[in-house]
Structure 1
Amino acid sequence: MKRHALLAALLGSSILQAAPVFAQSRDPAAPAPGQSQPQPLPMPPPIAAPKDVPFPGTMTVHVDATDLDRHIMTIHQTIPVPADAAEKGEMVLLFPMWVPGDHSPTGVIRQFAGLNVRDGGKTVTWTRDVVDVAAFHVPVTKGSHTLDIDFKLLTPVSDNEGRVVMTPTIVNVQWNQVSLYPAGYFTRQIHVTPSLTLPHGWTYGTALRPQGTTHAAGSGDATTFQSVTYNTLVDSPLYGGRYGKRVEIDDHDGPPVYLDLFADKPESLAATPEQIEAHRNLVRQATLTFGSHHYDHYDFLLALTDELGGIGLEHHRSSENSADPGYFTKWDHTFPERDLLAHEYTHSWNGKYRRPADLWAPNFNTPERDSLLWVYEGQTQFWGNVLAARSGLVTKQQGFDALAEAAAGYDQVAGRTWRPLQDTTNDPTIAQRSVQSWRSFQRSEDYYVEGQLVWLDADSLIRQLSHDTKSIDDFAKAFFGTNDGSYVVSPYRFEDVVAALNAVQPYDWAKFLRDRLDHTGVHAPLDGLARDGWRLVFTDKPSSFAKALDSGRHAMGERYSLGLIVGHDGTIKQSIWGSPAFDAGLTRDEKILAVNGETFSGEGLTDAITSAHAPGAGPITLVIKDGTHIRTVSIPYHGGLRYPSLERIPNTPDRLSTLYAPRH
């Protein structure tokens, strides 16, 4: 046999012999015959489930919030040791993680530091739970009576680390961030006496009430507050400030209501009588709408600041709010943010008193479920917009313009083609309000504003079916107005919402709601506008609301033309999925350097959009900087400037004006 023939025969033989080997080969990670596979270790014993029994004794918590330069709060607590814990030899302390109003586990455990625990003056060694990192196991003995606990809250020194809560002039104390509590009990069964030291001469605002007078304590002033349940403590945050002012805004026919103002500079506190009266009208209009109170007193905490982190957070007898320093002094320009107080105030009824049953939890470390946020937040968003107009915090036209922005913006959300509104109620846990590359396609917490549109739709249908004898106001009184004066939580389920709607106006409300919650589609639920006698249109002139909104966010909104929201420096803040900008490959955080051959300016971009609308005009050309890369893009858009507005439908009832009109 020739050499090449012999080689071919040998190779052929090898291949034939090797084939069964390849067929029988096994995964290298698979065990050999008789070899055991690893198995998971058993989980440690679970943390004791909360029980609805009284916690023996009263905790204390003292917060020293005077270290403004280093942004550090120093905390001292005493916690009684229950007899059963002493018998068992261990007590478990929890750092709150599921904070009401955040709808997700947002507890700032990463800022918690310096924990020291003493039993009878002797330091004891604690251990963190290996599964639940917000739980601390503390050894105790049969002779243990009280634990002394010290730790620090290392609050963010800049907004790169999180929300800033300590500035040279304002401090925001959220008690869930500065306290531990014992596992094994409903938090409504744990009593606590809180106290606080603020810099000398500062004032404070909170729903808590002092137990005595404030007294000097070192370099600050200390106040001890009346004992409350731990539930109430967490629900009663505090603002302290160098420049503060308290104004009573109730109408004297109900419980006292206060506007507690704090500012970076004292001149921001200069509110006119007419401005204060608009806030007083908010209390009146809410009372007329809901027909009840679910607080014995209420405090609007309002920080007028560029330095404290932004916030709008509801509580039963107070709310935490922040606004532009010019909230009062630039009244004609700050109206887009004035529905915030109306929104958070509405939560005293919707979200705090009436609360979704799956959002109520026995303590602050039990996971919440958010399935009904389209009621909790969606209807509150609806009432925030309406009550702001009814009270005069905004004009009716400004309220209409805000509604036009909401309708247009959510009609443009491409994500609705794959993700139903109901699924967005999971977003607080999924995204926790982190930045999203393509929010218009991913969707976010759309249950707020799209929820508002669903409730506008429901109101218009109630009015139409009842021949304008009933409205959502009747639902509000029936659903939120029960047990006047009580602030014991009244949970509700989907079936309860449907039953309350049917009691106002019989209809297949279950189908109405599920159709809007569970189905995907192209357009937002805008039927309510048409029933109310209005329609969404676009013009080439922005409303005063749109102008003020852009000014407040230091951007220009061209989302309905090019599909961009652009910062004043040319940085793209949003590129709308499916828009001309999207089709050209533009994304957020890129920077526009030039428009049609000229250095970027907002006016230049507007002019380019206008010019491209002319017959025969060419594309809009942009020079884009993406990190270290430069590219030129052409956008063949010729539709001109487009800004949303509401337009009356001739020969139809104007139900929208009726909805926004003040109640008497």
Structure 2
Amino acid sequence: MKPIRYTIVPSQPAAHLFEVTVTVADPDPAGQRFMLPVWIPGSYMVREFARNIVTLRAFNDAGRKVRVTKTDKHTWQVAPVKGALTLRYEVYAWDLSVRAAHLDDTTGFFNGTSVFLAVPGHEDAPCVVEIQKPAGAQYRQWRVATALPEARGTKRYGFGEYRAQNYDELIDHPVTLGEFALKTFKAHGVPHDIVISGRVVGLDMERLAADLKRICEAQIALFEPKSKKAPVDRYVFMTQAVSDGYGGLEHRASTALICNRGDLPVTGREPMTEGYRTYLGLCSHEYFHTWNVKRIKPAAFAPYDLTRENYTSLLWLFEGFTSYYDDLILVRSGVITQDDYFGLVGKVVGGVQRGSGRLKQTVAESSFDAWVKYYRQDENAPNAIVSYYTKGSLIALAFDLTIRAQTRNRKSLDDVMRLLWQRYGRDFYRGKPVGVEEADVEALFAEATGANLAELFTDGVRGTVDLPLAALLAPFGVSLKPETDVGAKPSLGARVRGGADCTLAAVHDGSAAQKAGLSAGDVLVAIDGLRVTGANLDALLARYLPGAKVEVHAFRRDELRVVQLKLDAPEVARYVLSAADSRAAGTRARDRWLKA
């Protein structure tokens, strides 16, 4: 097939407009169709990227306009032409996230799913994309950061032509444009770039590179303990630093990240801050996806259908297990301490336990319903759904501890991940892609470990039984206990939205608030005749004992309600993991787990 040629230029940064062209040398003689994806892999929600196409025109190779008909929300049909066909269109880019495209006079970013029209019938054709610099002296210092391979004549980080073997590869390499901080390190011989966009004072790139090197090398060694061979020839961490933001999206040889600029390390300040630890965990999570979901995929994603939802019940394995390993790798690589790690696990346990949705929805169901539930959460979400990320990570922990206990540490969850890699991931892009079938997972775990894991699959994956984590941790010399602060205030059993007004954001099942008839969206105005605000609620409640009856005045819309409420006992403040004395039983097993 002849190559599909694209050009993209930040034509009007102040108006947030990219101008894109796509040229097909041998279009369909019956009339060529063009399609823009409706979702981006890794973010399981239909996002309708085509809504951002502002204008679209078609031209034949003589430069004359050709009739274009839009046939549905994301597809265009062009009249038959002789010779080459070119579409020229504008894309509005004002989504400062990792999922779409953003452009202003300071920086640009895009995912291919937001800007590059697919050419049905030519999906396997090679692609060439020319990335052009915006016009004007103020953009003289702009560069290009992407993991897309450069075409001949284009220098790394330079504007020019880049290439992809097919459309799937083209859209799997996000691009950052502008002025950015840049640092390169090698992990087991493979270059990794760190790209930071946005203003960050005192950024310590040396420390960031050193920490990421340890994380990346630990993950490479997990999947390839003998060869230490990375699955990529080059990798790019690209981060947009903002005043308030968090997120990441995985790609086959890069990741797009967004974080608070205050979370990045500062030169001369050694202590590990909570924000920096969170950022490193995010980097670790997205890097682990290089294996788990970008190459080891559920069968439903091999290949992706970008025109509609792709349903799978396995996101607990692909996102949940990645969420387990992201923090585990931090402690194994020595980037954080054992106590830091235990604190992170305790936080996850608390988050899962606080939602009664865990007793109603399995992680397999949560995975399948991601498109309509997890990514579209409402005020009832804590009561109705469970996160395949957080509970999935605890299921991974339970599997790991169970396998280690049954095999006396001869096997672990690492062996499962390596078997998945060898069977499904290592050659994914080299031949016909094969994904993991849902019916094969349980047998594969047994094959990799020889352990009896039927109960965990029944109760943990396909059931809603709380995981016996305390019992599973005990043989490793680790205790898990809920803690409530001494003198803690009684609870309404509701989450309050931040702000001056005391607005209920969510009301938990069976709680004092729900029993009294309060609902999400209600605005509390008084308790026992005293005014309530978002700032003084805790102080007011602290004056009561659990079980006390109070009178609450609240507005629902514009109607005042007066209810009697019996306060609940204080909520569990935290779940604490503690390691036994180093001389105690289980210490060696714990070390094998956390220092593997």
**TM-score category, normalised to shorter length:** 0.7 to 0.9
Tell me, in whole angstroms, the C-alpha distance in 2 between the residues paired with 1:529 and 1:560.
Answer: 30
The alpha carbon displacement at 1:277 in A equals: 1.8
1:311 aligns with 2:247: yes
Contact between 2:409 and 2:589, CA under 8 Å: does it hold in 1? no
1:327 aligns with 2:292: no
Question: Which of structure 1's runs of 4+ aligned residues deviate more than 6 A?
Answer: 557-561
Change (3 A) 1:621 1:75: farther
Tell me, in whole angstroms, the C-alpha distance in 1 between the residues paired with 2:298 and 2:489.
Answer: 38
What is residue 15 of structure 2 aligned with on the other side? 70
After superposing the two structures, state which structure 1 stretch, 324-333 or 465-474, moved more: 324-333
The alpha carbon displacement at 1:625 in A equals: 4.3
Contact between 2:494 and 2:505, CA under 8 Å: does it hold in 1? no
Change (3 A) 1:78 1:374: same
Structure 1 unaligned spans of 5+: 1-55, 216-220, 543-556
Contact between 1:414 and 1:578, CA under 8 Å: does it hold in 2? no
Tell me, in whole angstroms, the C-alpha distance in 2 between the residues paired with 1:427 and 1:234.
Answer: 25
Tell me, in whole angstroms, the C-alpha distance in 2 between the residues paired with 1:610 and 1:111.
Answer: 50
1:80 aligns with 2:18: no
The alpha carbon displacement at 1:207 in A equals: 0.7
Which residue of the other structure, out of 295, 298, 301, is the alignment partner of 1:356? 298
What is residue 449 of structure 2 aligned with on the other side? 505
The alpha carbon displacement at 1:373 in A equals: 1.1
1:102 aligns with 2:56: no
Tell me, in whole angstroms, the C-alpha distance in 2 between the residues paired with 1:583 and 1:659.
Answer: 48
What does 1:390-401 correspond to in 2, within 5 Å?
390-401=332-343
The alpha carbon displacement at 1:432 in A equals: 6.8
The C-alpha deviation readout for 1:98-123, integer Å capped at 9, x for no partner, is: 42212343341211231101112221
1:606 aligns with 2:550: no
Tell me, in whole angstroms, the C-alpha distance in 2 between the residues paired with 1:623 and 1:388.
Answer: 48
User: Aligned to 1:105, what secondary structure does the other structure show?
Assistant: coil
What is residue 53 of structure 2 aligned with on the other side? 112
What is residue 402 of structure 2 aligned with on the other side? 461
Change (3 A) 1:395 1:535: same
1:225 aligns with 2:162: yes
Change (3 A) 1:157 1:535: closer
User: Aligned to 1:515, what secondary structure does the other structure show?
Assistant: helix
Tell me, in whole angstroms, the C-alpha distance in 1 between the residues paired with 2:85 and 2:545.
Answer: 73
Change (3 A) 1:578 1:287: same
Which residue of the other structure, out of 473, 485, 509, is the alignment partner of 1:577? 509
Change (3 A) 1:285 1:182: same
What is residue 462 of structure 2 aligned with on the other side? 518
Aligned AA (1:516): G
What is residue 92 of structure 2 aligned with on the other side? 154
Structure 2 unaligned spans of 5+: 267-271
User: Aligned to 2:388, what secondary structure does the other structure show?
Assistant: coil
Contact between 2:482 and 2:575, CA under 8 Å: does it hold in 1? yes
Tell me, in whole angstroms, the C-alpha distance in 2 between the residues paired with 1:363 and 1:147.
Answer: 25
Aligned AA (1:247): K
Contact between 2:191 and 2:233, CA under 8 Å: does it hold in 1? yes
Aligned AA (1:321): L
The C-alpha deviation readout for 1:145-179, integer Å capped at 9, x for no partner, is: 211111111234789xx977234433221111111
Tell me, in whole angstroms, the C-alpha distance in 2 between the residues paired with 1:531 and 1:541.
Answer: 30
Q: Taking every aligned residue pair, what percent have the same amino acid on both sides? A: 19
1:202 aligns with 2:142: yes
Contact between 2:3 and 2:125, CA under 8 Å: does it hold in 1? no
The alpha carbon displacement at 1:234 in A equals: 0.4
Tell me, in whole angstroms, the C-alpha distance in 1 between the residues paired with 2:290 and 2:329.
Answer: 14
The alpha carbon displacement at 1:139 in A equals: 1.5
Change (3 A) 1:435 1:104: closer
What is residue 45 of structure 1 aligned with on the other side? none
Aligned AA (2:460): R
What is residue 537 of structure 1 aligned with on the other side? 482
Tell me, in whole angstroms, the C-alpha distance in 2 between the residues paired with 1:586 and 1:471.
Answer: 47
The alpha carbon displacement at 1:655 in A equals: 7.9
Tell me, in whole angstroms, the C-alpha distance in 2 between the residues paired with 1:583 and 1:589.
Answer: 16
After superposing the two structures, state which structure 1 stretch, 417-426 or 567-576, moved more: 567-576
CA RMSD, aligned part only? 3.4
1:645 aligns with 2:585: no
The C-alpha deviation readout for 1:125-156, integer Å capped at 9, x for no partner, is: 12122xx4322211214xx2211111111234
The C-alpha deviation readout for 1:8-45, integer Å capped at 9, x for no partner, is: xxxxxxxxxxxxxxxxxxxxxxxxxxxxxxxxxxxxxx
Tell me, in whole angstroms, the C-alpha distance in 2 between the residues paired with 1:414 and 1:623.
Answer: 27
Aligned AA (1:276): A
The alpha carbon displacement at 1:332 in A equals: 1.7
What does 1:434-449 correspond to in 2, within 5 Å?
434-443=376-385, 446-449=387-390
What is residue 322 of structure 2 aligned with on the other side? 380
What is residue 271 of structure 1 aligned with on the other side? 204
Contact between 2:484 and 2:570, CA under 8 Å: does it hold in 1? no
The alpha carbon displacement at 1:426 in A equals: 2.3
The alpha carbon displacement at 1:348 in A equals: 0.4
What does 1:239-258 correspond to in 2, within 5 Å?
239-242=176-179, 244-251=180-187, 253-258=188-193
User: Aligned to 1:69, what secondary structure does the other structure show?
Assistant: helix
Contact between 2:112 and 2:170, CA under 8 Å: does it hold in 1? yes
User: Aligned to 1:430, what secondary structure does the other structure show?
Assistant: coil
What does 1:326-345 correspond to in 2, within 5 Å?
326-329=262-265, 332-334=273-275, 335-345=277-287
Tell me, in whole angstroms, the C-alpha distance in 2 between the residues paired with 1:228 and 1:423.
Answer: 36
After superposing the two structures, state which structure 1 stretch, 367-376 or 271-280, moved more: 271-280
The alpha carbon displacement at 1:577 in A equals: 2.7
The alpha carbon displacement at 1:451 in A equals: 1.1
Contact between 1:462 and 1:471, CA under 8 Å: does it hold in 2? yes
Tell me, in whole angstroms, the C-alpha distance in 1 between the residues paired with 2:130 and 2:205.
Answer: 35
Change (3 A) 1:406 1:227: closer
Contact between 2:332 and 2:595, CA under 8 Å: does it hold in 1? yes
Change (3 A) 1:619 1:274: farther
Aligned AA (2:85): L
Aligned AA (1:300): F
1:180 aligns with 2:114: no
Contact between 1:408 and 1:536, CA under 8 Å: does it hold in 2? no
Change (3 A) 1:272 1:423: same
Contact between 2:366 and 2:374, CA under 8 Å: does it hold in 1? no
What is residue 127 of structure 1 aligned with on the other side? 69
Contact between 2:6 and 2:127, CA under 8 Å: does it hold in 1? no
The alpha carbon displacement at 1:649 in A equals: 8.2
Change (3 A) 1:273 1:91: closer
